A and B are shown apart, each in its own frame.
Chain A
Amino acid sequence: MSVTVSIPSAFRRHTEGLDHFDASAANINELLDVLGNRFPELKPHLRDEQGNVRRFLNIYVNDEDIRFLDKDYKFAEGDDVTLVPSIAGG
């Protein structure tokens, strides 16, 4: 599936300045692999040493936090994926 990833400004020095990136991936894990391979400097910021999504990285598919999605959630064509480092607020 083709999905569009929104890249926050803090990540753009690792993504050649791109603020959006169109990727082909079936699910979140595959997408993180695609992003890590395409942007090697971004890779360590996506997952920790155990392979889990980093604590301070929030990922949303359309409007939904991925932690609310089924573990085997499969992307639909045109899904929007948003990366937000270190959620603030409160």
Chain B
Amino acid sequence: MSTQADTKPKPTQFYELRCRECHTPWGNQPISFCQKCFAPLEVVYDWASIKPQISRDEIARRGTTLWRYKELLPLPDEYDASLPVGFTPLVKATNLGDALPGGSARNKSLYLKNDASCFPTLSFKDRVVAVALAQARNFGFEVVSCSSTGNLANAVAAQAARGGFKACVFIPSDLESAKVLGTEVYGAQIVRIAGNYDHVNRLCSQIADKHRWGFVNVNLRPYYAEGSKTVGYEIAEQLGWRLPDNVVVPMAGGSLITKIYKAFKELVELGLVETKNVKFFGAQATGCSPISTAVKAGRNEIQPQKPATIARSLAIGNPADGFYAARTIASTGGWAEDASDPEIVDGIALLAETEGIFTETAGGVTVASARKLYAQGRIKPEETTVLCITGNGLKTTDVLVGRYEASEPIAPKLAAFEEYLEQKLTGVYEAFGEARAGARGGVL
């Protein structure tokens, strides 16, 4: 692996890696931290060269995938843009808005950025992997890998299968079975580690140090993380090229919230949206809340925790971007909240019952935290607020076991159904009086 600082970007690439702390440039290469001061790297762009190439109209002419923002992403000269990743729905959430504290404001301006429907593996991790694998091919990696709490493993396995990479992913041994199966089915090699995610992650840093593999969230991490910016670009475009007042973002490693912030800042710099002081709110599970704990204590320094939560996709006790996430929240006037396991399950159910969207535990964390933020008055009903729903509930059905009782089957006879109707569905029809009257008259 080259670690020389003299790697120059190609003339057509208007981006390169730079240290987040000492600002040393490192060209473009598969490394994640500064070889001088060992702080993390991030991608910086030559906006003066990019700005003339992009406009709202130009973007509007392109396909509805994340590739429509190609100039704003660290993509190599050649990449496969055939996979329709991203551009997920931004859904107006009037019913959920009514159910959240702050009055029954029908005018509550609440939206859901619904990555539970992201292609191909139903989480926002499809975005970051799309960018990472473009660079994996550019750097000549044959094996791609990751440390994962589940969703990332799904995304790496699926996109590696399509892209012709070998995939080997590392996961904690206690992951939800749907997330394990949802990786195995693509033919990826899974290495289960007897430990939590932080153990897995440390091991992957050591493996990446020794083997020439493309770890999307280790040596390819600066590129990978930029894929999260597309959540921010899409929110702005789908709001009619304007920024919201607030965003509520679930936090695991803390990268997503910092990248949405970066996306909004870039759009302002490019003149695509008006400037606005968007408040960033972070959401964690109480059982793994190193970032929200830091925010509540008024500090940016993170004290790691040992995760104990059903929100396994957020169970990172030593978050790589925790410091930057806490700083982003504080600097924008936002806040962080966290949700207990029962609150997470209630959040999942509330979103499903009000908006017909089935999210995984991370989404339950976001909804439950948003409920607290409204109750505290930190988010005001009339403000335009976007909740980031990052994953799909079909992957974490285990947390709902016991919440819903299986009903007894009834005979396939109309009389049996009428009896059932009287016994079980009375409440339903009381809520819809006219329908009940119609049913009695034989017309449903």
Interface residues of A (CB under 8 A from B): 6, 8-10, 45, 54-58, 60, 63, 65, 67-68, 82, 84-90
Q: At the interface, is chain A mostly helix, strand, loop or mixed?
A: mixed
Q: At the interface, is chain B mostly helix, strand, loop or mixed?
A: loop
Minimal Cβ-Cβ distance residue in B for A54: B38
Q: How distant is the Cα of A8 from the Cα of B35 in the complex, in angstroms?
A: 11
Of B301-309, B343-351, B363-371, B399-407, the one contacting chain A is B301-309
Residues of B within 8 A of A67 (CB): 303-304
Beta-carbon contact of A88 and B205 below 8 Å: yes
**With contact pairs A10-B3, A58-B202, A65-B304 given, residues A87 and B38 touching in the complex (Cβ less than 8 Å):** no
A54 shortest CB reach to chain B, Å: 7
Q: Which of B38, B215, B217, B319 is within 8 Å of A10, CB to CB? A: B38
Beta-carbon contact of B38 and A85 below 8 Å: yes
The answer to whether B147 has its CB under 8 Å from any CB of chain A is yes
Beta-carbon contact of A84 and B255 below 8 Å: no
Beta-carbon contact of A86 and B38 below 8 Å: yes
A72 shortest CB reach to chain B, Å: 18
Q: How distant is the Cα of A39 from the Cα of B180 in the complex, in angstroms?
A: 44
Q: Which of B3, B33, B210 is within 8 Å of A86, CB to CB? A: B33
Minimal Cβ-Cβ distance residue in A for B325: A90
Beta-carbon contact of A58 and B318 below 8 Å: yes
Q: Which of A60, A85, A89, A90 is within 8 Å of B33, CB to CB? A: A85
**With contact pairs A8-B209, A45-B37, A67-B304 given, residues A87 and B217 touching in the complex (Cβ less than 8 Å):** no
Beta-carbon contact of B35 and A10 below 8 Å: yes
Q: List 28 A-B contacts (CB under 8 A).
A: A6-B206, A9-B1, A9-B210, A10-B3, A10-B209, A55-B39, A56-B33, A57-B38, A58-B202, A60-B202, A63-B199, A65-B198, A65-B304, A65-B318, A67-B304, A82-B206, A84-B205, A86-B38, A86-B39, A87-B318, A87-B320, A88-B32, A88-B215, A88-B217, A88-B218, A88-B221, A89-B316, A90-B255
Minimal Cβ-Cβ distance residue in B for A83: B38
Beta-carbon contact of A56 and B218 below 8 Å: no
B439 shortest CB reach to chain A, Å: 52
Q: How distant is the Cα of A68 from the Cα of B252 in the complex, in angstroms?
A: 19
Beta-carbon contact of B195 and A63 below 8 Å: yes
Beta-carbon contact of B320 and A89 below 8 Å: yes
Interface residues of B (CB under 8 A from A): 1, 3, 21, 32-35, 37-40, 147, 195, 197-202, 204-206, 209-210, 215, 217-219, 221, 252-255, 301, 303-304, 306, 316, 318-321, 323
Residues of A within 8 A of B33 (CB): 10, 56, 85-86, 88
B154 shortest CB reach to chain A, Å: 16
Residues of B within 8 A of A88 (CB): 32-33, 40, 201, 204-205, 215, 217-219, 221, 320
Would you list the 8 A-B pairs with minimal beta carbon distance, nearest first?
A90-B253, A86-B33, A89-B201, A85-B38, A88-B218, A56-B39, A88-B221, A90-B320
**With contact pairs A56-B33, A57-B38 given, residues A90 and B205 touching in the complex (Cβ less than 8 Å):** no
Residues of A within 8 A of B1 (CB): 9
A18 shortest CB reach to chain B, Å: 14
Beta-carbon contact of A86 and B252 below 8 Å: no
Q: How distant is the Cα of A14 from the Cα of B21 in the complex, in angstroms?
A: 20
Minimal Cβ-Cβ distance residue in B for A57: B38
A68 shortest CB reach to chain B, Å: 7
Residues of B within 8 A of A54 (CB): 38
